[in-house]
Structure 1
Amino acid sequence: MKPSTFTVAVAALSTGVQGATYAVPGTAPAGAALLDPAPVGVSFEFFAFPSYFTNVTGTTQCLQNLQALTGTWPPIRIGGTTQDRADYDPSTSAYVVYSVASAVDAPAILTFGPSFMSLAAKYPGTVVVGLNRGHDNVSNTIAAAKVARSQMQNLLAIELGNEPEYYLGASQPVAVNAGSWTPAVDAASQNNWDILVGSALQAPLIIQAGNSNSAPPTWGAAELIATENATVKSYVHNYAHHNYPGGTVQSLMSHSGIVSDMTMFIPDVAAAQGTGKQYVLGETNSVSGGGAATVSPTFGAGLWTMDYALRASLLNISRTYFHHGTIGACQYCFWGRYDMGAPYYGAYAAAATMAGGSYISALDSGSTAFAVYVVYNSAKTPIKALLYNSNYFNGTGSRTSESFVLTGLAGNTLKAKRLTAVSALSRVDQGQNPSFGGQYFQNVTCSVGGTEAFESAAVSGGQATFSVKASEALLVYLQ
């Protein structure tokens, strides 16, 4: 957050009580995953994107906080259901034009103009723009893509359609006109559009392909890649999938549950890598439809965000874009017009863990409540370890604690930052801010509040013990 101004030694950090022991490798193991410079990204619902950047005070500061950690602006993606309801109108000067009965409704139909792309062009980081395939108007989409290509020096890729498996149920013309709609029919449509748009732009490596939400292998990248010829592949920049695991706070934040949920992506990641392309989670968050009021705004969801982002990177998922939906009706959003969201703390802790790293590995089995991630620098030297106790604490009764014993350590003393809250059910909008290293994020502005505090632990014989309470995490600096 801010430069360290305060350090405290916490006796509970190094208790001498033996718990599970994890040997920190002196060098990154052969299977360590390569880290993207900014693995934690943000997705914005298409129609709401302009408002996030013109009407929400905290947006730029929240993104800049992440940039301050990594040195790279977090990647953003603009898309979602409303990208397939949006048609390009070159004559309008407005970012977007639509009508809704209530301010918290998403529009059923909308148009957008060139200024939409000029606004996106101002963002200092990379941008993926999602465009309409559902309306089956490829000439209109090409017109919009050309404006994006010409105005946006930061354009990373273009999506052609969002979650196409739902097209038929939504009566989208591209599916209705096809006569039937299956993964194979959609793949043929995607491949054709990739070629038409890519060739019209005269731009190789311009398409973010896939973008489905159904659990792989059906509608997955491996299935899609099997249908692609060399021409299609020449236009594909990367492959993407969406994911909303859902569940209760307790099930969502479970480390073993997160590991289990994400195993479904392993074959698709391998298929993408087999073509020399990256694989990303192009849209994801805790619970679909803007989140669940009893789950998504909680600190437990923030711990899920942290563990989920780290696990994705461990699986060679290059970037994870956490979705932000309708302003004022978004339970899982990292921030809004007024209150910060507890999930932002988890995203920040994940970014802090991976910042400056080149590789990541896990020391835990993935089958318990306890996670241990190790991040390595470009020389493959371990620089940080993230310890996570995903046991659920709801604020009542005694709060249990786990001792993590790390061996293979260098030096005499290590410092650490704790991610904590009163309980897994803590919510910022109910007055229970989490903290990371003693600091928090101001409501409305997203500026950092509080004084940064490091805990310290003695290393003896290359070993140190760290105590982490249920529903807490600790970031240990190994250098």
Structure 2
Amino acid sequence: MFTRSICTTSIAILSSRALAQYISLSPATTVPSGASNYVDPSFAGFGIEPSNLFSFTGGDDTNTFSVQLLQNLADYAGLPAHIRLGGNTQDYMIYDASQTQYKWTANTNSRAQGVIAADSMIIGPAYFKALDRFPKGTPVTFGLNMAYIDNDWEDRIVKMAQGAVDGMKNVKLYSFEVGNEPDLWLKNSFRSAPWTGQTYTTQFLDRCAKLYERVLKPANLPSAFFEPPATASTIGTTFEIAQLVDDGIMTGRDGNNFMTAWNQHDYFYFIGVTPTPLTLDDLMDLDATNTQFAYWEKQVKAALNTGLPYVLREMSSVGPIGMPGVSDTFGASLWTLNFFMYAATLGIQSVQMHMTANSNASAWQPIPMYGSDTSFVRPQYYAHAAVAQLIGNGNGTTQISVLKTSNVGATYSGRIRAYAAYAKDNLQALVLINSKLAEASQDKGSFTFNINLGSANANKDVFLSYLTADGGDSQKGVTWNGLSYDDITGQSNVADATVNVVTADGQGKVSIPIRDSQAIVANIGWQLGVNLVLKPDPTQSKKSSAATTSMPGASNAVYTSIMAIIVALAMVVAR
């Protein structure tokens, strides 16, 4: 049974504190210039450290908790989240078909170079069987070992790539990432000087050429299947995109072009690298995200100018394994929601939030750790759920545009963000974020968004879906759109059945107050998550746009009719 809560009720609840802080917004009612392209249903994905794969998939037995959490997002967005299986440990791994265990094993005959040797871990066919447990059609960018340079390097990398091509039956091999963060290879002794972007380009193209001829071409896969340069600290190095273009990385070999996307990595904060301390309040200052990412904005533009997409395959609030009290809090969930919206507006095609089995920044804890007897869901996962439902709401036509929120007063400076989401070229939803830190034990203020939705939306109901917890420091008790996720099964539960609605006036204006440390997605016409999601065929070409798919056997007119019935039923239930 659903109950209907009119927004005036919310205003009454908040009347104990003056609602003096506000902003007026007038989003365009049709897609404005500068909005993102269609956001891919797999956009908000995850990175998994290769050595930790079995923690997330399970060993001899499937980790059904992880699989269910990923399936939830696939159901919301219309396609599974993109997985990048890569990180430092991809450059430690070699493939041996006789190693059949559901774990990696130490190489007792290791002889390769590196602070940690480039052949120190062995995996076999069970590695790909475990990966294949993820939801059907999950797009996977698989990290290959480029660090290994012994005389048999060609056979080694070909065997690994062939294992991936042969072993992925349920999930979808999307691309290969050849080598992880080669800009750091002098530090970890994978290479010796001179080592530059030019040298890397030569070795990268050598490997791509061999992999295409021996693995991809026989499998009828295209030559443009590789993502360079997978770099981290590109600032001040010879690995910037423009430099690699000059070095000839896009030229290919033998008439074949090997690049499918530009791949870079980043973290908002990295322990042991970022010189200043970090607090939760620092993370929740969203202006700091723009400042930290300013250089990468230039890299995105450089990438797009080459005609290829830009992907951020390794990202997180805090690296390498998070920070207790910061990355595992609800404040980090608000940061994650904002980052996904921000990244989409920059033209970034895909973002993978990195996970390890021991990271406080992982969206879920796949195995018992940190004093818990069970697996558990972290607040960040709820941001992924919000983004997945928002993307699915547009059925392949979701576009994101940022709204100006700079004049909010000193109290809320850096804490207010607003984004408009469009579906089928029309304004459909607003993402409203108030990231002012309010701890669970504190009294909380609020900030009001006065929004002019335009005359086309006059007198329409606007449904409010909350991303909320008791406070920014909360590590439990998080809900998204009234849902919580079970720490054992990963399944969703209805934690709050209230349907919150505000009705626009005759001019299309609404006022939406948002409590400190909270976010709302305001969707026009129906509650987010109740509309039909069209699921593109997961076997379609990775170059195809999800926006071109349609319901099998159904015309647009039929789909529109179905949608109208579903929305009408939802409205009846809501009332």
**1:147 matched to which residue of 2?**
163
Secondary structure of 1:21's counterpart equals strand
Q: Specify every segment of 5 or more residues in structure 2 that has no aligned partner in the other structure, as ranges.
A: 13-18, 108-115, 270-277, 368-374, 407-412, 526-575
Q: 1:397 offset after TM fit, Å?
A: 4.0
**2:66 matched to which residue of 1?**
59
The aligned runs of 1:152-171 (5 Å cut-off) are 152=168, 154-171=172-189
Secondary structure of 2:205's counterpart equals helix
- 1:346 aligned to 369, 383, 390, which one? 383
Could you say if the C-alpha distance between residues 139 and 453 of structure 1 is closer, same or farther in structure 2, counting changes exceeding 3 Å?
Answer: farther
Q: Distance in 1 between matches of 2:246 and 2:498?
A: 51
Q: Distance in 2 between matches of 1:126 and 1:259?
A: 29
**2:169 matches 1:128:** no
**2:354 matches 1:331:** no
Q: Distance in 1 between matches of 2:497 and 2:71?
A: 18
Could you say if the C-alpha distance between residues 452 and 276 of structure 1 is closer, same or farther in structure 2, counting changes exceeding 3 Å?
Answer: farther
**2:127 matched to which residue of 1?**
116
Q: Distance in 2 between matches of 1:364 and 1:230?
A: 40
* Bigger Cα displacement from structure 2, 305-314 vs 108-117: 108-117
**1:360 matched to which residue of 2?**
400
Contact kept? 1:420, 1:473, Cα under 8 Å: yes
Q: Distance in 2 between matches of 1:200 and 1:274?
A: 31
**1:420 matched to which residue of 2?**
468
**2:247 matches 1:231:** no
**2:104 matched to which residue of 1?**
97
- 2:280 aligned to 234, 249, 257, which one? 249
**2:398 matches 1:385:** no
CA deviation profile, 1:197-236 (whole Å, cap 9, x unmatched):
2333323121121111115474333332332242267111
Q: 1:180 offset after TM fit, Å?
A: 2.1
Secondary structure of 1:195's counterpart equals helix
Contact kept? 1:83, 1:132, Cα under 8 Å: yes
Contact kept? 2:228, 2:263, Cα under 8 Å: yes
Could you say if the C-alpha distance between residues 118 and 222 of structure 1 is closer, same or farther in structure 2, counting changes exceeding 3 Å?
Answer: farther
**2:35 matched to which residue of 1?**
32
Q: 1:244 offset after TM fit, Å?
A: 1.0
Code of the aligned partner of 2:74: Q
Percent identity, please. Answer: 24
Q: 1:13 offset after TM fit, Å?
A: 4.2
CA deviation profile, 1:421-460 (whole Å, cap 9, x unmatched):
11111113xxxx1111222111122111224433111211
Q: Distance in 1 between matches of 2:379 and 2:89?
A: 26
CA deviation profile, 1:15-53 (whole Å, cap 9, x unmatched):
797721110211010211111122110111101113311
**2:486 matched to which residue of 1?**
442
CA deviation profile, 1:163-203 (whole Å, cap 9, x unmatched):
1122222222xx13xx3223333333323323332333323
Q: What RMSD over aligned residues (CA atoms) do the two structures have, in Å?
A: 2.3
**2:567 matched to which residue of 1?**
none
Q: Distance in 2 between matches of 1:313 and 1:216?
A: 22
Q: Distance in 2 between matches of 1:302 and 1:40?
A: 13
Could you say if the C-alpha distance between residues 425 and 8 of structure 1 is closer, same or farther in structure 2, counting changes exceeding 3 Å?
Answer: same
CA deviation profile, 1:104-133 (whole Å, cap 9, x unmatched):
xxx972111123224334532111110111
**2:138 matches 1:138:** no
- TM-score, normalization by structure 2: 0.75
Q: 1:359 offset after TM fit, Å?
A: 1.2
Code of the aligned partner of 1:373: Y
Q: Distance in 2 between matches of 1:79 and 1:72?
A: 21
Contact kept? 1:126, 1:156, Cα under 8 Å: yes
Q: 1:402 offset after TM fit, Å?
A: 0.6
Q: Distance in 1 between matches of 2:142 and 2:520?
A: 35
**2:273 matched to which residue of 1?**
none
Code of the aligned partner of 1:458: T
Contact kept? 1:98, 1:110, Cα under 8 Å: yes
**2:48 matched to which residue of 1?**
44
Q: 1:415 offset after TM fit, Å?
A: 1.0
Q: Specify every segment of 5 or more residues in structure 1 that has no aligned partner in the other structure, as ranges.
A: 101-106
Contact kept? 1:241, 1:283, Cα under 8 Å: yes
Contact kept? 2:67, 2:133, Cα under 8 Å: no
Q: Larger Rg: 1 or 2?
A: 2
**2:510 matched to which residue of 1?**
464
Secondary structure of 1:185's counterpart equals helix
Aligned residues: 459
- TM-score, normalization by structure 1: 0.89
Contact kept? 2:44, 2:352, Cα under 8 Å: yes
Q: Distance in 2 between matches of 1:295 and 1:257?
A: 15
Q: Distance in 1 between matches of 2:132 and 2:467?
A: 34
Q: Distance in 2 between matches of 1:58 and 1:411?
A: 44
Q: Distance in 1 between matches of 2:349 and 2:29?
A: 24
Secondary structure of 2:313's counterpart equals strand
**2:381 matches 1:374:** no
* Bigger Cα displacement from structure 2, 433-442 vs 461-470: 433-442
The aligned runs of 1:180-329 (5 Å cut-off) are 180-201=194-215, 202=217, 203-216=222-235, 218=237, 219-227=239-247, 228-231=249-252, 234-246=257-269, 247-325=278-356, 327=357, 329=358
* Bigger Cα displacement from structure 2, 239-248 vs 307-316: 239-248
* Bigger Cα displacement from structure 2, 140-149 vs 12-21: 12-21
